[in-house]
């Protein structure tokens, strides 16, 4: 294979899965992760996303094909060399006993310590830098079992940073988090990719977040193939529609967000005015079965007052609530 740029993890005709299965979960994979970028891996449950991550990290053997690290077959490299280049954050929450946060993060230095696990000054510096990177320095002496889910996920990411790898693979890092923490983790991962010039691959089901934070997407199709590319170009090419069968499931992608296709009657109204109010008004009316369209000069004019109160003007009548507006429309 021709030489590749430093610190690139690439796949060549890769097939992943289990020998006991009749066919691979994913196959014919030919793509690569780029330094300084965040890539999201998306697909249906059970399609093979976790298996692909474990195979790329050298934990699981490929059914066929090759994972290359800087042009070398990962299967031929020592565990120490792979660990120094590739870190992985899995979904399972490991047993941490009575560890504090700093002790958990220090486990990321195992590829660099001697057989006694002695931490040198350089190791301690890397650990503290990793804690700073995820904003957990002030919690470094706190017991791991007292952390919130969001804090624990950041600690696991810090452990991977302390490993000083060039590639980080994360399996559903936002799966058990509330919305603010989901956003915080994805923004953190994007920042790490840029500031540390790392190649990050994140398996996730959060399509909206992936679209808004990822540079590239890997979309796993039902036939076991990966469709890859720039996030925005895949959206423009309607790649999500096929992978997630949006229309069949009553969904559509609108301006980077998943929207429900509500059942509406033949009646419709047009909206104009404040963009934000018009958007939420249209959503409300569509839920009630009324088609809507935002135009320059609509039947209903949305107005945002100085006191942040929303108002609607319809046929010369001013309304202060959506319910009162809807009642008049129905009449």
Distances (CA, A) of 275 to 58, 201, 238: 50, 35, 25
Q: Tell me, what's the pLDDT at 96? A: 77
Q: Which of 4, 32, 28 is nearest to 228 (CA)?
A: 32
Of how many residues is the chain composed? 331
Greatest Cα pair distance in the chain: 81
Q: Tell me, what's the pLDDT at 116? A: 60
Q: Tell me, what's the pLDDT at 4? A: 39
Separation of first and last alpha carbons in the chain: 72
Q: Tell me, what's the pLDDT at 5? A: 43
Q: How many CB atoms lie within 10 A of CB 18?
A: 11
**What parts of the chain have a pLDDT lower than 70?**
1-7, 114-117, 245-262, 266, 306-307
Are 264 and 286 in contact by the 8 Å Cβ rule? The answer is: yes
Are 26 and 220 in contact by the 8 Å Cβ rule? The answer is: yes
Distance CA 6, CA 4 (A): 6
pLDDT tens readout for residues 97-113: 789 999 999 999 888 77
Q: Tell me, what's the pLDDT at 249? A: 64
Which conformational region is residue 117 in: left (phi greater than 0), alpha (psi within -120 to 50 degrees), or beta? left
pLDDT tens readout for residues 162-212: 999 999 999 999 988 889 999 999 999 999 999 999 999 999 988 889 989
Chain center to CA of 62 = 24
Q: Which residues contact 84 (CB under 8 A, 6 or more apart)?
A: 111, 112, 163, 164, 165
Q: Tell me, what's the pLDDT at 143? A: 94
In the numeric block, the tokens 């399509």 are attached to: 207
Q: Which of 215, 161, 183 is nearest to 37 (CA)?
A: 215
């Amino acid at each position: 294979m021709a030489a590749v740029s430093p610190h690139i993890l690439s796949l060549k005709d890769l097939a992943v899965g289990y020998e006991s299965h009749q066919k691979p979960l994913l196959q014919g994979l030919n793509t690569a992760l780029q330094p300084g970028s965040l890539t999201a891996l998306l697909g249906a449950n059970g399609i093979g996303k976790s298996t692909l991550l474990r195979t790329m990290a050298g934990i699981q053997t490929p059914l066929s094909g090759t994972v290359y690290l800087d042009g070398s077959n990962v299967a031929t490299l020592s565990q120490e060399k792979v660990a120094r280049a590739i870190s992985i954050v899995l979904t399972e929450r490991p047993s941490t006993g009575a560890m504090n946060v700093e002790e958990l993060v220090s486990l990321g230095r195992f590829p660099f310590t001697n057989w006694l696990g002695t931490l040198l000054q350089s190791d301690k510096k890397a650990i503290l830098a990793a804690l700073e990177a995820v904003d957990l320095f002030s919690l470094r002496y706190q017991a791991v079992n007292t952390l919130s889910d969001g804090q624990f996920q950041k600690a696991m990411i810090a452990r991977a940073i302390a490993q000083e790898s060039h590639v980080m693979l994360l399996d559903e890092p936002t799966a058990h988090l509330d919305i603010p923490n989901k956003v915080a983790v994805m923004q953190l991962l994007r920042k790490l990719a840029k500031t540390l010039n790392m190649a990050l691959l994140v398996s996730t089901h959060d399509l909206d977040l992936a679209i808004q934070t990822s540079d590239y997407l890997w979309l796993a199709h039902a036939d076991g193939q990966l469709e890859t590319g720039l996030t925005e170009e895949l959206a423009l090419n309607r790649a999500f529609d096929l992978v997630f069968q949006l229309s069949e499931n009553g969904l559509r992608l609108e301006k980077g967000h998943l929207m429900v296709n509500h059942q509406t009657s033949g009646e419709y109204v047009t909206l104009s005015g404040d963009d934000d109010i018009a958007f939420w008004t249209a959503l409300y009316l569509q839920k009630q079965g009324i088609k809507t369209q935002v135009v320059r000069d609509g039947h209903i004019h949305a107005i945002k007052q100085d006191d942040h109160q929303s108002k609607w003007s319809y046929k010369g009548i001013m309304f202060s609530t959506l319910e009162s507006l809807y009642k008049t429309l129905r009449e």
